[in-house]
Amino acid sequence: MGSNKFYDFLTEKPHDFLIVGLGASAGGVQALREFFAHVPEDSRMAYVVILHLSPDHDSQLAEVLQAVTTIPVAQVREKVEIKPDHIYVVPPNQHLIIEEGFIAPSVNLHLEERRAPVDIFFRNLADSHGPRAVSVILSGTGANGSMGLKRVKERGGAAYVQNPREAEFNEMPRNAIATELIDDVLPVAEIPARIVAYRDSLGTVEIALVAEQRPEQHQQALREIFAQLRLRTGHDFSNYKRATLLRRIERRINVRDLPDLPSYAAFLQQNIEESQALLKDLLISVTNFFRDKKPFAALEQDILPVIFQDKRSEDEIRIWVAGCATGEEAYSLAMLVAERTLDVVDAPKVQIFATDLDAAAIGTAREGIYTLNDAADVSAERLKRFFTKEGDHYRVIREIREMILFAQHNFLKDPSFSRLDLVTCRNVLIYLNSTAQERVMETFHFALKPGGYLFLGSAESVDGASDLYATVSRENRIFRSRQVALRKYPVPESVPNLIPPPLMIRKAKEPESSPTGRISFGELHQKLLEQYAPPSLVVNEDYEILHMSEKVGRFLELSGGEPTKNLLQLIRPELRMELRSILYQAIQRQTVLEVRNIVWGQHGERQSVNIQVKPVTKEGDPAKGFVLVIFESNEPEQETSNEKVITTVEEPIARQLEEELIQIKAQLRLSAEQYEYQAEELKASNEELQAINEELRSAAEELETSKEELQSINEELRTVNQELKVKIEETVITSNNLQNLINSTEVATIFLDRAFCTRLYTPAARQIFNLIPSDYGRPISDITHRLDYDHLLADVETVLEKLTLLEREVTTTDQRAFMMRILPYRTTEDRINGIVITFFDVTLRKQAEKALLQSEQRLRLIIESAKDYAILSLDTQRRVVSWSSGAQILLGYTEAEIIGKSGDLIFVPEDRENKAPEWETQTAEKEGRAEDERWHRRQDGSRFWASGITRPLRDEQDNTIGFVKIMRDLTEQKQVEEALRMAEEKYRTQLEDEVQQRTAELKTSRDQYFTLVENTRM
């Protein structure tokens, strides 16, 4: 039902060179170097590298890659033609766009372009090159690329991933693997050769579309493949387009590098996991939030307001999302609905049914957990309003999740929903053949209310079912259900046979039509219009004939080729031009138009006809969109009628009456025979109806009894339902409390079952173990971690065996320390159902202990190296607590001899009598320090002069808990000072004697001088 470039991708074979897109982030440069070091010079493929780093970081990637390969490497700075054997690198803070053989940079303007550049490019690559696209995911953090590779696979491309155990940062590879769409997981050095092998295998295997053109061994191989698929997966693909199925199988043969179809059939039979891989390729549960923004905008602005118009709290709006995949489209629709209802007091109840064939996809949808890259198409406002952040993922809020009922369902076989206001089925019909598409259109029409809406994908339409749907917006693929006559609804294949055994009732023969059969006035009116009104026909907006009167056939002409219902192809050539013009104008103007006196010829006679075109324009009319075309001849028709025409003839009246009487008798005889026949039939029918009535009376009594039992069961179920509702509310509260407790404690905890498989983990556990949501159920031994400890599994086995607590300090590769506690998981019935592993971060405590130990060691080293100083500490009773080696040298006491004894021993007796020790500690406690120089006493009784300082030791509350005293031996200094003093005293005495002697001598000389002077004068 509609085809475009998308469907062409599904069946197209790549004839041109492949384009390999490589996505990486942290640790990706080394992986890219390793990749291109193994790429041959003549690979005949183009390579585009998307490195997701900081917008301000210029990695010089082009120069780095050019150093390891001879293939030309260029950073794309302008629009250039993409060529094989070239490497194109994205510039910083930009993304790349491929279109019509050219690649061009584009500035990151939108949020999704900045946070998911790899996904954006993979999507663009898949949309533009389909099966020629190859995606490669290398080392990196987050889930960048996992969403885009789904589009690559959807369009028939290939996807490869670096082995997570080899990647420096394994989050991008692990998230890609979690999609279960990866063709191979390899060491990065082996990926280039694998892509070359894939390229070489393309075109080597071709399965003929026509069964008659296939060899018998190919026919048998296909039968085996589809039988294995149905046996192992339970899915029947008989309603799928044959070309799409065969191309997908060809692709799997190429991916597995097998020579032909029989080899693949044998491989499929021997490898069970290949059945799931083929199923994933055929189903491709790919979607994303608000896919195709313009149609969703039209749905939000034009359709939902009509659906919600005049709806109150007692009303219900029912929506069905068929083929919902992993739930993004269903949640997108729920968000649009929630924006209209969450803040409205009198809002109607909304129930959304979301169904899909893929049970794994339905499980993912129910969880409602998506990566940041999955949510790249969600606006920041909606992301904040409708999602909660859980680690690196986002979960849809409970109010939105409870709005949707997810279920595994096949709309081709299972019973449909009913009384729906809106059905969305996007990008599913393109995989189905025309018969299945018609069946689906009828199913959706049955499910929709009259006037309900159908929302299809960009590659789909309602062609072939235009009598059931009117076009609302062809561009956005939105259609509206018409109210048509009751049609036979196709009974689903999966409905069990509940028909009771036959009652051995003979079916009455249907009476043949006879002149006496009753006919309704409506049917009579219709017959008269058909016979006497001008010829006419009804077409839809695509000019396809839906109904025509008996006589309109003379204006039509069948031509050779494929049969068609298109009026413009069936109308006689002489009338085609005028009819095409008037049809177009009438539909465009939505008014009645007429063209007169069109000359045309029939059987060599030239005739004139008027054509009237009357479109149905009344809003809300179920016939809206239909067009009535009337052909009115300008000349009276001269056709022979089957009626008996009574003409007047000159015959006796008696003869005429006799002939009329004979005719009436014949009619009466015929009526009597028919009456007798019908009476016999009615008698037989009456007997049968009496038997049926007895059966029905018995069945009614049984039903009455069953009704009472059902009422009783219903009451019990209502009670149980109420209890379950209370329990669910309690469980929700407990779950919320537990979730908040887990988030607040930041204790890494992992719950394992008895097989050591992961059952639950807290967000903090991801700091130690490389866990992602898809790791639930995986053995703990398969999950890489950052612990610098190799005996975790042995410890777990020991705890499960001995049922005792085990504690151990472990460290991680980034030098963090954890206290690991492993204990059994006990149920309330005291049963052991697994193991609980907790990790308490003791990094800060270990660092503090290490710092304290180093500080003590440094202090002790300082004290021990100070040989010239005596350092001792006292408690509040002045008892010795510590004793340095310098104190032992100076005072003669060893540490063992002095510890615990009074520190007063080092004072001389006279100072002890003067209470010098008490003064010293009191002064230190009061003033913060006490200094003194005095004589002290050694163990051998000798004395020495020492200078000392005493300081108090205080705790955190500033209470004195002891004292520390530091002394230095100043005996020699004291002796030198004493000698200097005595020498100074002696020198001063000698000097004074000399001065006195000299003074006496000077006095004598002066006397002699004066005597001499006096004698001279005389």
Taking CB atoms within 8 Å and a gap of at least 24, the contacts of 235-242 are 235/279, 235/282, 235/283, 235/357, 237/282, 239/412, 239/432, 239/433, 239/435, 239/436, 240/282, 240/431, 240/432, 240/433, 240/436, 241/10, 241/11, 241/430, 241/431, 241/432, 241/433, 242/209, 242/433
Please count the structural domains in the chain.
5
The answer to whether residue 703 sits within a structural domain is no
The answer as to whether 659 is a domain residue is: no
Does residue 54 lie in a domain region? yes
Helix (H) or strand (E) holding 440: helix 434-447
Query: Does residue 470 sit in the same domain as residue 392?
Result: yes
DSSP letter at 301?
Answer: I
CA distances from 1001 to 572, 992, 1007 (A): 170, 14, 10
DSSP H or E run through 283: helix 272-283
* Alpha carbon distance, N-terminus to C-terminus of the chain: 166
831 half-sphere exposure, CB direction, 13 A CA radius:
4
Residue at 472 is within a domain? yes
| Closest by CA position to 782, among listed 757, 814, 800 | 757
- Tell me, yes or no, whether 276 and 292 share the same domain: no
Q: What residues in the chain have per-residue pLDDT under 50? A: 1-11, 489, 491, 493-519, 637-651, 653, 656
Residue 241 sits in a domain of what CATH number?
3.40.50.180
Q: Kindly provide the residue ranges of all beta strands, DSSP E only, lying in 499-570, ordered along the sequence.
A: 536-539, 545-548
Task: Tell me 228's DSSP state.
Answer: H
The residue type at 604: G
User: Taking the CB of residue 493, how many other CB atoms lie within 10 A of it?
Assistant: 10
Question: What three-state secondary structure class fits 253?
Answer: helix
Q: Is 191 exposed, middle or buried (0-12, 13-18, 19+ CB in 10 A)?
A: buried
Residue 393's contacts (CB-CB under 8 Å, 6 or more residues apart) are 369, 370, 371, 372, 773
* Within-domain flag for 906: yes
Alpha helices (H) along 554-596: 567-570, 573-589
Do residue 943 and residue 915 come from a single domain?
yes
Radius of gyration in angstroms for the set of CA atoms belonging to the chain, rounded to a whole number: 50
* Contact of 249 with 240, CB cutoff 8 Å: no
Same domain, 191 and 244: yes
CA distance 28 to 168: 8
Encoding tokens for residue 653? 């009246």
CB atoms within 10 A of CB 857: 10
**How far is the C-alpha of 579 from the C-alpha of 598, rounded, in Å?**
10
CATH number at residue 324: 3.40.50.150
DSSP single-letter state for residue 410: -
What are the pLDDT digits (tens) for 612-645?
998 887 766 666 778 899 998 875 544 433 333 3
Q: Which residues of 962-992 are buried (b: 16+ CB within 10 A; e: fewer)?
A: bbbbbbbbbeeebeeeeeeeeeeeeeeeeee
Q: Are 95 and 117 in contact (CB under 8 A)?
A: yes
Cβ burial, residue 242 (10 Å; 0-12/13-18/19+): middle
Q: What is the CATH number of the domain that holds 916?
A: 3.30.450.20
Residues contacting residue 409 through CB under 8 Å, at least 6 positions apart: 322, 355, 356, 357
Residues 811 and 936 in one domain: no
pLDDT given at position 866? 58
- What single DSSP character describes residue 394? E
Q: Rounded to an integer, what distance in angstroms lies between the CA atom of residue 576 and that of residue 584?
A: 12
Give yes or no: residues 774 and 879 share one domain.
no
For β-strands 478-481 and 832-841, DSSP reports them as unpaired
| Domain-terminating residue out of 219, 251, 282 | 282
Q: Both tokens of residue 999?
A: 């003074």
Among 586, 618, 634, give the residue marking a domain's end: 634
37 & 66 share domain: yes
The answer to whether the CB of 893 falls within 8 A of the CB of 939 is yes
Cβ(144)–Cβ(373) under 8 Å? yes
Q: Evaluate whether residue 422 is within a structural domain.
A: yes
Q: Reduce the DSSP state of residue 902 to 3 states and report it.
A: strand
- DSSP character at residue 885: H
Residues 55, 24 share a domain: yes
Indicate whether 278 and 296 sit together in one domain. no
Specify if 683 maps to a domain: no
Q: Are residues 319 and 255 in the same domain?
A: no
Q: Distance between CA 134 and CA 125 in Å, rounded? A: 9
CA distance 628 to 567: 12
Domain that holds residue 333: 287-481
Query: What are the backbone dihedrals phi and psi of residue 107, each rounded to the nearest 5 degrees, phi first?
Result: -70, 140
Q: Which of 969, 993, 1011 is the endpoint of a domain?
A: 969
Residue 728 lies in a domain: no
Q: Which of 932, 929, 995, 989 is closest to 963 using CA atoms? A: 929
Give the pLDDT confidence score for residue 88 in this predicted structure: 92
Backbone angles phi, psi at 822, to 5 degrees: -115, 125
My answer on whether 619 and 546 are in the same domain is yes
**Do 70 and 30 share a structural domain?**
yes
Give the pLDDT confidence score for residue 1017 in this predicted structure. Answer: 64
